[in-house]
């Protein structure tokens, strides 16, 4: 790749908030209240750092040193954990909550490393450098002298496992190191210029993430598979309206959980919403109505997606 990547090559699709579609998707996420709140606060403070000073003036006058610690954090949040647990979904929709609470427009620039930058040497570094350059340019236009930004930009680096190489650091290919360095330079640039921009990074392998990247994160949010109550909520909220009885829902909740002795993990959120529930619907369509006993059979025959071998997140919730 000799030329700089153009905008269309760089970002998948630009999203602007507020918008009803991400608002609805955000509201449908189950069990992520903690992650939602923390992420919204970090992004909100990048847009409006004066908000923290106003809060301190009211409750803790004289706490400036404490505020500085919070405000000097780098504009990076890592979303880490199991597959199909809502990392991408939350990263793609949180901008809506902040846009509404701060009363501004926010733009999401989604960069996926899984489908890009795996090719020629130098490509990932070039992609990251160009993505940060573009983010900085947009955020600079939105910064205002009076403190509160006119808007904000979220750069989403999804499927960032390409940057998650620390375990193999000793043998790390020169190109991988260069990608990590480009990423770190980009974060530092946004931080030093105090721009209204946040970088969200999603990865399935936190423990393999480069320590220099990890150290820069203002927050690391962890994501896990649904527990019993969360599976019950996802399943019953979708199935009780079609007339499934409690005992069939109970059986589905049980079958989609860990199976002692056989497997230590249960279904992921996406196993439930994108595999099991559609399978139940399509099994009945178009000839007959859905029924609970048949749904239980379908669940019994289905296996959950195996976890990434990261250890750290299997079964753990913040």
Residue of 234, 245, 244, 202 whose CA lies nearest to 220: 202
Residue of 213, 228, 235 whose CA lies nearest to 292: 235
Contact between 190 and ligand ADP by CB under 6 A: the answer reads no
98's enclosing H/E stretch is helix 87-102
Residues 6+ apart with CB under 8 A from 317: 222, 224, 227
What is the size of the binding site for ligand ADP (CB under 6 A)? 19
* Whole-number Å distance between alpha carbons of 217 and 160: 14
Among Mg ion, ligand ADP, none, the one that 83 touches (CB under a kind-dependent 5 to 8 A) is ligand ADP
Phi, then psi, of 231 in degrees rounded to 5:
-65, -40
Could you tell me which stretch among 37-45, 61-69, 87-95, 108-116 binds ligand ADP (CB under 6 A)?
87-95
DSSP state of 272: I
Contact between 222 and Mg ion by CB under 5 A: the answer reads no
DSSP state of 182: H
Q: Closest approach of Cβ 238 to ligand ADP, in Å? A: 10
Contact between 273 and ligand ADP by CB under 6 A: the answer reads yes
Q: By three-state DSSP, how is residue 9 classified?
A: helix
User: If 0-12 CB within 10 Å is exposed, 13-18 middle and 19+ buried, where does residue 174 land?
Assistant: exposed
Please say which residue, 238 or 294, places its beta carbon nearer to ligand ADP: 238
Q: Closest approach of Cβ 60 to Mg ion, in Å? A: 38
Residue of 84, 96, 83 whose CA lies nearest to 20: 96
Please say which residue, 88 or 273, places its beta carbon nearer to Mg ion: 88
Contact between 22 and ligand ADP by CB under 6 A: the answer reads no
Contact between 268 and Mg ion by CB under 5 A: the answer reads no
**Diameter of the chain by CA atoms?**
70
Q: By three-state DSSP, how is residue 199 classified?
A: strand
Q: Closest approach of Cβ 89 to Mg ion, in Å? A: 8
Please say which residue, 88 or 107, places its beta carbon nearer to ligand ADP: 88
Contact between 30 and ligand ADP by CB under 6 A: the answer reads yes
Interface pattern 233-272 for ligand ADP (x via CB under 6 A): -x----------------------------------xx--
Could you tell me which stretch among 88-96, 109-117, 148-156, 264-272 binds Mg ion (CB under 5 A)?
88-96
Could you tell me which stretch among 43-51, 79-87, 105-113, 254-262 binds ligand ADP (CB under 6 A)?
79-87
Residue of the chain from 223, 267, 308, 313 that contacts ligand ADP (CB under 6 A): 223
Residue of 89, 199, 76, 85 whose CA lies nearest to 135: 199
Contact between 270 and Mg ion by CB under 5 A: the answer reads no
* Whole-number Å distance between alpha carbons of 85 and 92: 13
Residues that bind Mg ion (CB under 5 A): 88
Residues that bind ligand ADP (CB under 6 A): 28-32, 83-89, 202, 223, 234, 269-270, 273-274
């Amino acid at each position: 790749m000799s030329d700089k990547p153009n905008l269309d090559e760089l970002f998948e699709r630009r999203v602007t908030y507020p918008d009803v579609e991400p608002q609805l998707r955000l509201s449908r996420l189950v069990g992520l209240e903690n992650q939602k709140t923390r992420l919204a606060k970090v992004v909100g403070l990048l847009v409006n750092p004066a908000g923290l000073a106003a809060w301190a003036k009211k409750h803790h006058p004289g706490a400036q040193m404490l505020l500085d610690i919070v405000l000097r954090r780098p504009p990076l949040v890592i979303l880490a954990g199991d597959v199909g647990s809502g990392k991408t979904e939350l990263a793609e929709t949180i901008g809506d909550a902040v846009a509404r609470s701060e009363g501004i427009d926010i733009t999401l620039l989604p960069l996926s490393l899984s489908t890009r930058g795996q090719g020629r040497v130098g490509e990932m570094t070039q992609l990251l450098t160009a993505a940060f350059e573009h983010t900085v340019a947009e955020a600079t236009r939105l910064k205002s002298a009076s403190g509160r930004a006119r808007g904000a930009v979220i750069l989403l680096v999804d499927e960032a496992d390409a940057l998650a190489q620390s375990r193999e650091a000793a043998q790390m290919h020169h190109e991988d190191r260069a990608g990590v360095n480009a990423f770190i330079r980009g974060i530092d640039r946004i931080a030093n210029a105090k721009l209204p921009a946040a970088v969200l990074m999603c990865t399935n392998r936190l423990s393999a993430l480069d320590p220099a990247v990890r150290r820069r994160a203002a927050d690391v949010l962890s994501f896990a598979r649904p527990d019993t109550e969360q599976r019950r909520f996802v399943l019953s909220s979708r199935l009780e309206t079609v007339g499934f009885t409690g005992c069939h829902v109970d059986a589905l909740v049980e079958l989609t959980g860990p199976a002692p002795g056989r497997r230590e993990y249960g279904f992921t959120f996406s196993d439930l919403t994108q595999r099991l529930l559609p399978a139940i619907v399509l099994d009945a369509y178009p000839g007959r109505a859905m029924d609970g006993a048949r749904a239980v059979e379908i669940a019994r025959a289905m296996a959950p997606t195996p976890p990434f071998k990261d250890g750290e997140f299997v079964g753990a919730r913040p």
